[in-house]
Amino acid sequence: MTPRAVPTPREQLAAARRIVVKVGSSSLTSLDGGIDPTRLDRLVDALAGRRAAGTQVVLVSSGAIAAGLAPLRLHRRPRDLATQQAAASVGQLLLAHAYSASFARFDLAIGQVLLTADDMIRRSHYRNAQRTLERLLGLDVLPVVNENDTVATDEIRVGDNDRLAALVAHIVGADGLVLLSDVDGLYDGDPRKPGSSLVAEVDDPADLQAVQIAKPGQASLGRGGMATKITAAAMASAAGIPVLLTSAEEVTAALDTAADGPKTGTAFRPSGRRMSARRFWLRHAADVHGRLDLDAGAVAAVIGRRRSLLAAGIHGLSGDFVSGDVVDLVGPDGVVVARGVVGYDASELPGIIGRRTSQLPPEQRREVVHADDLVPLT
């Protein structure tokens, strides 16, 4: 019997029954006019078309801060956090209303879901987010997700909506992720210069080290750039989700359900297996607050036998962390082998590391990092 061919990432995206689409600020708004209704309607037309084809859609949309600039008579994206939050507070309402009115043309209801990093790292929070998104989809509502910029601080910020989209794609068990940019894909050089070529497919994001990545310009309305999109694509593809990176101008082609898939942008082939949402976030946590240095025996227990990390296997630490923070676990060769949520403050550990559990006071006879809160990186 002839072995069945493995579908290409484009074919997987075309056949996806649940898909997450992320759109950036620059694709929806302008500095002088706030929300651009023509751009927004074009996006909604394509999403509604994919919905009509039988696909469940989750939209991760930037644009709240940018949408709030014009009403507040601000001429550029503010740099201070308080003004960003104020702009987001005004713009989020405008953006939600614009989406609601546009989707109403197709008799589609939307639900707004605002998330922070806490909703990903804390077990009860991400389960609540997962249940809410799942229920919205079950009620035939299209969720519109954004980071909650009205309250998010640097300490609780996911960082960018590209990363948020990858997290959401994993949480909802999406079959595909589409990242819409202001360029039509990934190039092997500066796309503004002659001689650069579109990279049509990426088998492994590690192959992109030599690719020149353009940064967002000073007038950019968003936080991200091509680097954040590649990071998000790597996160999702490593968890078994095919990704397409293309221009918002090509959104209709990007959501094409033809058997051979969309013929635009850069497709990222899924290169790993799915993991729990909590472990997925831990693996890609942006805010690591310290490190624990492990001996060879602890590395073997943590990586080889998937055991909890005990004080006896630690011979050093660094960083100003508290219980509940994310830390790196580092082997004797200096390589980060795992990441996890630490159960002690940094100030508590010097007196107990290297000691067996039986040698510790009863109140300290617990794991430094529990196996349920730990994800190997090797």
Helix (H) or strand (E) holding 342: strand 336-342
Kindly compute the dihedral angle of the four CA atoms of residues 282, 56, 108, 251, in this order, to the nearest 10 degrees: 80
Burial class (CB in 10 A: 0-12, 13-18, 19+), 262: buried
CA dihedral 204, 207, 212, 218 (to 10 degrees): 40
Gyration radius (Cα) of the chain, Å: 22
What region does 73 belong to: left with phi over 0, alpha with psi -120 to 50, or beta?
A: left
Q: Summarize the annotated binding site for ATP as residue ranges.
A: 22, 181-182
Closest C-alpha to 284, from 346, 222, 234, 350: 234
Amino acid symbol at 277:
A
Annotated binding residues, written as ranges, equal: 22, 62, 149, 161, 181-182
Distance CA 190, CA 213 (A): 7
| Residues annotated within a binding site for substrate | 62, 149, 161
Strand segments, DSSP code E, in 68-224 are 110-115, 142-147, 176-181, 201-202
Beta bridge partners of 143: 111
Of 130, 162, 57, 115, the C-alpha closest to 276 is 130
Cα 295 from chain centre: 32
Q: What is the distance between the alpha carbons of residues 217 and 192, in angstroms, rounded to a whole number?
A: 13
Instruction: Report in angstroms the alpha-carbon separations of 312 from 354, 359, 375.
Output: 4, 10, 19
Cβ atoms of residues 19 and 13 within 8 Å: yes
What is the bridge-based pairing of β-strands 176-181 and 243-247?
Answer: parallel
d(CA 74, CA 104): 30
Q: Residue 56 forms beta bridges with which residues?
A: 18
Residues 6+ apart with CB under 8 A from 206: none
